Structure 1
Amino acid sequence: MELSALLTSAGINIGLCLLLFSLYSILRKQPSNKDVYFGRSLAQMQSRRHDPHWFDRFVPSPSWIVKAWELPEEEILAIGGLDAVVFVRTLVFSIRIFSISSIVCMALVLPLNYFGKEMQHKEIPSESLEVFTTQNVKEGSRWLWAHTLALYVISCSACILLYFENKSIIEMRLSHISGSSQNPCYFAVLVRGIPQSSEESYSDLLKRFFMKNYPSRYLSHQMVYQCGKIQKLMKTAGKMYDMFSNHSSQQVCAPCGFCGGRSNAFSILPNEPEVIEKGKIDLNTTNLRGGGKESAAAFVFFKTRYAAASVAQALQSSNPMLWVTELAPEPRDVYWSNLCIPYRQFWMRKIATTVATTVLLLFFLLPVALVQGLANLEKLGQMFPFLKGVLEKKLMNELVTGYLPPVVLVLFLYMVPPLMILFSTVEGSISRSRRKKAACCKVLYFTIWNVFFVNLIYGTVITKLDGFPSLKDLFNGKLLNGNLPTNLADRAVPALVKFFITYVLTSGWTSLACELVQLYGLFCNFVYKSIFKKKHGPFDGGWTFPFHTEVPKVLLFGLIGFAFSVLAPLILPLLLIYFSLAYLVYRNQILNVYLFEYDSGGRYWPIIHNTTVFSLLLGQIIAVGLFILKESSICLGFTSLLIACTVLFNEYCRRRFHPVFNRIAAQVLIEMDQQDDQSRRDVIYQQLHSSYCQLEWITCDSCKSRFSGNSGEEGCKQGLFWPLLLMLLP
């Protein structure tokens, strides 16, 4: 691939980015799109923006860039919690490390690669990309020390930056825990695997068990009910309310009639049930047992935070599958439908999702083979002779090799995150944050394997075989005969630099522009308002931040950067531009678009740290293969020492920092317990049952809101909805 093909791809993607950025700065000013671009909190738009002929609404402006740049970290913490801060800090870390890498490698390594062999160079646009890689360095070159020095600078800088990021995020996590001392989740333990008894109910058995074993610490408990029946009742009540609202001459502010605003169509009957008092419902007096069957799970509340933590970490029974305890998630984070799953099913569900993920991995070999076929036109022409005439044209050649392969791969990758969310749900995650974190890990492993490693293997095989490899070829010795690091350094990584550079341009730059414009949300909003003539779009109120798609994407680009930093430095400035754009785009999205309904307390950081260290080690291992290939024993020895130091650094961080993300320190919990006075403790005790009341956290199918349990005038608890629901309960 010539440099001109890369410039063609860069030109196309830069043009798309400029077009989409300009389009965004115009579309965000249109009042009809406020649901799409200001979903988190609808901005107070100036009156002139409601004038359809106002000129300023149709002129691109960079004002959103200034607001995103000036957004302080404290406001990000207030908006999105610690998870949002961790994601932004990941981008900041990437900008810092790839700034250092770009300066060192572009100034030191790239010239040595370019002049590595005695040859007559062409004009720069006509040069092959392989000339700028280590493939152009001759064996035994005395200049390979520069590559080793650059590798040391990058690795040491990354470790130092990671250390300080670990330290800073740990401090923020401890502050987050201390600042939410009244959160009921610190007093609650989720108990699953309650044994079945023919003589007494789950509730009576659980109370007897904890009163016997923890008489001085046990406070009370709240059973979990099989929520299918309750959800059906909620849906029926919603339909009844819709039916009544449709006959009303006055429409409330939302289509379903539940979400805010005063309703003058109905009045509450004076003979309401006694459980409704001043817009508030005592759900403990509601006969939920008639509306749903008890499941073998419950929330058990304790008198102190330390007592709850010690019970959660203890093995309660000689049978580990009975009386399983763990600290409860936050009430807003609980994934209620999975709490009813019998605990003994979890290992079977884990196996089933692992098998399904493996099948998907094997299926994805076909799209990768197609992508590599497009990237290797000579082999493609041999396989399909009727395409030779078309592919010989220069413009078509540059378009197919420089732009089409990553586009095809990105389109296939769009199907992966929804499937991984489904697999994580089937596994039985008990919290929404844990479900999204599990999906994030699956998407990350899937992306790294298919986008990086399988592309490397296929790219190497296609150049060695006379056609596309079969699955049999993929797993036998024909693919990478000999030493794996040597093969990667010799053929795979330098030869595939063209594909990964175009992948950064397409899946990086252009996807950020699409993320900013929100093409899917814009299309749905147009359909709802223009075709269905609805007042509100489907995303009125915003949607949650997609950590399971964005975190793996950022980490994949980091892995590509570390793997190519020494071998093909030309990719580093492009990655630096990507991370800089991502920093602005995601800060804008956090400020305006996405909701953060729950906060895992920064638990994505260990995933980010481990992946970054893995990327560092991968780059160092590929460099080992390079130095073996180039017969440089001194550089090989220094790089082996660097690998050992990186492993030791990771082990230190794993022991020093990562346990804080898995458990809460007893010292912190005891200090919070000591700071409580009796009046504050009594207030928390009174809120425990209402906080974990299952009925209040079921999602309303009609208005997509959640019950907060704090006020009779909030969410779906307004008007006739709650009386209708209570009438439906047996």
Structure 2
Amino acid sequence: MKFSALLTSAGINIGLCSLFLSLYSLLRKQPGFVYVYFGRRISEENDMNEGSCILDRFVPSPSWIVRAWEYKQDDILSIAGLDAVVFLRILVFSIRVFSIAAVVCVFGVLPLNYFGQEIHRASIHSESLDVFTIANIPEGSHWLWVHCLALYIISFSACILLYFEYKNIASMRLSHIIQSPTNYSHFAVLVRAIPQEDGESISDAVQKFFMNYHASSYLSHQVVYRTGKVQRLMSNAEWVYKNLVRLKSTAISKTCVPITYRCGLCGGTSDSFQLYRNEFEPDEKKPCPIMSDSRTKPKECLAAFVFFKTRYAAVIGSQLLQSSNPMLWVTDLAPEPHDVYWSNLWIPYRQLWLRQITVLLASIVFMFLFLIPVTFVQGLTQLDKLQQMFPFLKAILAKTVMTQLVTGYLPSVILQLFFYMVPPAMMLFSAMEGWISRSGRKKSACFKVLSFTIWNIFFVNVLSGSVISQLDAITTPKSIPILLAKAVPRQVSAF
């Protein structure tokens, strides 16, 4: 990749950012999008003053950026909450680390790499980015300490910034927990893998167990029932079927007799439909056939929420090993009601290890399948090698602008498009693992996406590009490490 291709990619990205910011500036001023961009303010103030000038609504303005910088951290905390503040702190931390790395590398590392060898220099615009990498430093050079010093400075700065950020976020989180109202989920423990004896219900087993071992702190419990959407549809269908059968055997009331002096086009009176409508309306006095029939009762899962009298007792109960068999009476702190992933509570606890192994194998297979687009993307950065393998590309890439566009911008776009399918796939894998909370599922998915990014987007990206550039030089397996050691630094310019 040449420096001109890098400038082309940067120019396209800057243009797209300016376009999106301008579109946001225009759309936020339109009356039809007021409830989209200012829904929270409208719900709190019930008032929204639109612009006095109609022409101003069709002219993009950067004034909202200036007003956004004027907000303090306390204002954002009171308006948007702690999660928004932490997200903004992550952005601020990233900007600070990137700024330190940019200053150190631009004024220290890049000049050293550029003038590392005594060769004739062309204009920077036509230079290849290889001259800005460590590969341009001659072997055995005494100036390699500059690279080590730059790494130490960046790493030490990142650790110091992380320490202060975590200290600030931890204090805000502690104050948020103290000021928050009492949450009943903090007193609850989720119990799974409950053993059931013959003739004993899950509820009786839970009550008997916790009354024996936690009598002083045990308060109550709630068994989890398996009533999903399919179960509810089947129950409703059976209820409707029973009502229809009962209607057929019931004599029609006299109030349903059609009035003779009405013509056939006018229909009957409104009372003629009253009987059928009332038959399907639930009556509080009459027991519902669904609840009265034992066959349609919801099934009990081998899980229950156990409530304790104090938060300390709940934490202790969630940490203790309740049985000599670690696969029985498994306890965890209960998630919040809106955070519970109810469908995974039906999964038997003994299946979790098998599900985790299966998901691990599926993730590895998915990572290897992703090598195909990564290798294709790296092929776009090695056009000279691809032109030798595919001669028909020479006519297409004859123009300089097309070459700069393909090598500088198209690889990152294609890689991002393929990468969009990774988070949904990882969310599906995490759901199959059997996490009991939505936040736990998202955390597991984030860890999988991070591992996927480190492996596929970094290592595989570098190695695949290096292999493509050195295919003609590989003669024996012993020469592969030496070739990669020389080619990997040059491939880093793709990032």
1:139 and 2:139 equivalent? yes
Structure 1 residues 354, 42: CA separation in 2 closer, same or farther (over 3 Å shift)? farther
Q: Which structure has the larger Rg over C-alpha atoms?
A: 2
| SS of equivalent to 2:332 | strand
Aligned-residue offset at 1:87 = 2.7
| SS of equivalent to 2:223 | strand
Residue number in structure 2 paired with 1:255:
none
Alpha-carbon distance in 2 for matches of 1:426, 1:205: 28
Alpha-carbon distance in 2 for matches of 1:443, 1:106: 31
Aligned-residue offset at 1:392 = 2.8
Alpha-carbon distance in 1 for matches of 2:346, 2:480: 49
Q: Identify which of 398, 405, 411 aligns with 1:405.
A: 411
Aligned-residue offset at 1:97 = 1.8
Residue number in structure 1 paired with 2:308:
302
Q: Would the aligned equivalents of 2:28 and 2:37 in 1 still touch at CA under 8 Å?
A: yes
Residue number in structure 1 paired with 2:359:
353
User: In the alignment, residue 340 of structure 1 is paired with which amino acid?
Assistant: W
Aligned-residue offset at 1:197 = 2.1
Residue number in structure 2 paired with 1:32:
32
Alpha-carbon distance in 2 for matches of 1:155, 1:492: 22
Structure 1 residues 203, 321: CA separation in 2 closer, same or farther (over 3 Å shift)? same
Alignment of 1:263-662 (within 5 A): 273=284, 292-466=298-472, 477=477, 480-482=480-482, 487-488=484-485, 490-497=486-493, 499-500=494-495
Count of residue pairs brought into register by the alignment: 446
Aligned-residue offset at 1:360 = 0.8
Q: Would the aligned equivalents of 1:460 and 1:479 in 2 still touch at CA under 8 Å?
A: no
User: In the alignment, residue 95 of structure 2 is paired with which amino acid?
Assistant: I
Alpha-carbon distance in 1 for matches of 2:445, 2:431: 9
Residue number in structure 1 paired with 2:113:
113
Alignment of 1:37-56 (within 5 A): 37-38=37-38, 46=48, 48=50, 54-56=54-56
1:152 and 2:152 equivalent? yes
1:188 and 2:192 equivalent? no
Q: Would the aligned equivalents of 1:222 and 1:299 in 2 still touch at CA under 8 Å?
A: yes
Q: Would the aligned equivalents of 1:373 and 1:380 in 2 still touch at CA under 8 Å?
A: yes
Aligned-residue offset at 1:98 = 1.9
| SS of equivalent to 1:320 | coil
Aligned-residue offset at 1:438 = 1.0
Structure 1 residues 422, 76: CA separation in 2 closer, same or farther (over 3 Å shift)? farther
User: In the alignment, residue 95 of structure 1 is paired with which amino acid?
Assistant: I
Structure 1 residues 220, 447: CA separation in 2 closer, same or farther (over 3 Å shift)? same
Aligned-residue offset at 1:393 = 2.1
Q: Would the aligned equivalents of 2:377 and 2:414 in 1 still touch at CA under 8 Å?
A: yes
User: In the alignment, residue 339 of structure 1 is paired with which amino acid?
Assistant: L
- Per-residue CA deviations over 1:189-240 (Å, capped at 9, x if unaligned) read 0001111222111011100110111111100011111121587369979xx9
User: In the alignment, residue 146 of structure 1 is paired with which amino acid?
Assistant: V
User: In the alignment, residue 305 of structure 1 is paired with which amino acid?
Assistant: R
Aligned-residue offset at 1:179 = 3.0
Alpha-carbon distance in 2 for matches of 1:209, 1:312: 15
Alpha-carbon distance in 2 for matches of 1:77, 1:291: 46
1:86 and 2:98 equivalent? no
| SS of equivalent to 1:29 | coil
Aligned-residue offset at 1:176 = 3.3
User: In the alignment, residue 413 of structure 2 is paired with which amino acid?
Assistant: V
User: In the alignment, residue 217 of structure 1 is paired with which amino acid?
Assistant: S
Q: Would the aligned equivalents of 1:185 and 1:331 in 2 still touch at CA under 8 Å?
A: yes
Alpha-carbon distance in 1 for matches of 2:356, 2:461: 28
Structure 1 residues 434, 73: CA separation in 2 closer, same or farther (over 3 Å shift)? farther
User: In the alignment, residue 363 of structure 2 is paired with which amino acid?
Assistant: T
Structure 1 stretches of 4+ with a deviation exceeding 6 A read 234-237, 286-289
Q: Would the aligned equivalents of 1:229 and 1:292 in 2 still touch at CA under 8 Å?
A: no
Structure 1 residues 171, 54: CA separation in 2 closer, same or farther (over 3 Å shift)? same
Q: TM-score, normalised by structure 1?
A: 0.57
Q: Would the aligned equivalents of 2:188 and 2:333 in 1 still touch at CA under 8 Å?
A: yes
CA RMSD of aligned residues (A): 3.1
Structure 1 residues 98, 432: CA separation in 2 closer, same or farther (over 3 Å shift)? same
Aligned-residue offset at 1:78 = 4.5
| SS of equivalent to 2:113 | helix
Alpha-carbon distance in 2 for matches of 1:233, 1:54: 52
- Per-residue CA deviations over 1:339-369 (Å, capped at 9, x if unaligned) read 2222112112112211211111111010011
Aligned-residue offset at 1:406 = 0.9
Alignment of 1:223-234 (within 5 A): 223-228=223-228, 232=232
Q: Would the aligned equivalents of 2:133 and 2:489 in 1 still touch at CA under 8 Å?
A: no
Residue number in structure 2 paired with 1:99:
99
| SS of equivalent to 2:392 | helix
Structure 1 residues 171, 234: CA separation in 2 closer, same or farther (over 3 Å shift)? farther
Alpha-carbon distance in 1 for matches of 2:465, 2:20: 32
Aligned-residue offset at 1:402 = 0.8
Identity %: 60
Structure 1 residues 132, 449: CA separation in 2 closer, same or farther (over 3 Å shift)? same
Aligned-residue offset at 1:104 = 2.0
- Per-residue CA deviations over 1:455-508 (Å, capped at 9, x if unaligned) read 0110111111049x9xxx9xx9578425xxx945x32133331x22xxxxxxxx
Aligned-residue offset at 1:288 = 12
Alpha-carbon distance in 1 for matches of 2:407, 2:50: 48
Residue number in structure 1 paired with 2:275:
none
Q: Which moved more, 1:183-192 or 1:149-158?
A: 149-158
| SS of equivalent to 2:481 | coil
Alpha-carbon distance in 2 for matches of 1:307, 1:288: 39
Alpha-carbon distance in 1 for matches of 2:32, 2:432: 38
Flag structure 2 segments of 5+ consecutive residues without an equivalent: 241-281
| SS of equivalent to 1:166 | helix
Q: Would the aligned equivalents of 2:463 and 2:484 in 1 still touch at CA under 8 Å?
A: no
Aligned-residue offset at 1:287 = 9.0
| SS of equivalent to 1:74 | helix
- Per-residue CA deviations over 1:81-112 (Å, capped at 9, x if unaligned) read 54433332222222222222222221222222
Alpha-carbon distance in 2 for matches of 1:352, 1:334: 23
| SS of equivalent to 2:182 | coil
User: In the alignment, residue 61 of structure 1 is paired with which amino acid?
Assistant: S
Alpha-carbon distance in 1 for matches of 2:40, 2:390: 51
Aligned-residue offset at 1:146 = 2.3
Alignment of 1:211-222 (within 5 A): 211-222=211-222
Aligned-residue offset at 1:154 = 1.3
Residue number in structure 2 paired with 1:170:
170
- Per-residue CA deviations over 1:281-339 (Å, capped at 9, x if unaligned) read xxxxx999965211111110001110110010000011111110011111221122222
Alpha-carbon distance in 2 for matches of 1:327, 1:173: 19
Alpha-carbon distance in 2 for matches of 1:346, 1:330: 22
Alpha-carbon distance in 1 for matches of 2:400, 2:34: 45
User: In the alignment, residue 133 of structure 2 is paired with which amino acid?
Assistant: T
Alpha-carbon distance in 2 for matches of 1:155, 1:185: 40
- Per-residue CA deviations over 1:226-264 (Å, capped at 9, x if unaligned) read 121587369979xx9xxxxxxxxxxxxxxxxxxxxxxxx
- Per-residue CA deviations over 1:418-457 (Å, capped at 9, x if unaligned) read 1111111111111111111111111111122111110011
Q: TM-score, normalised by structure 2?
A: 0.82
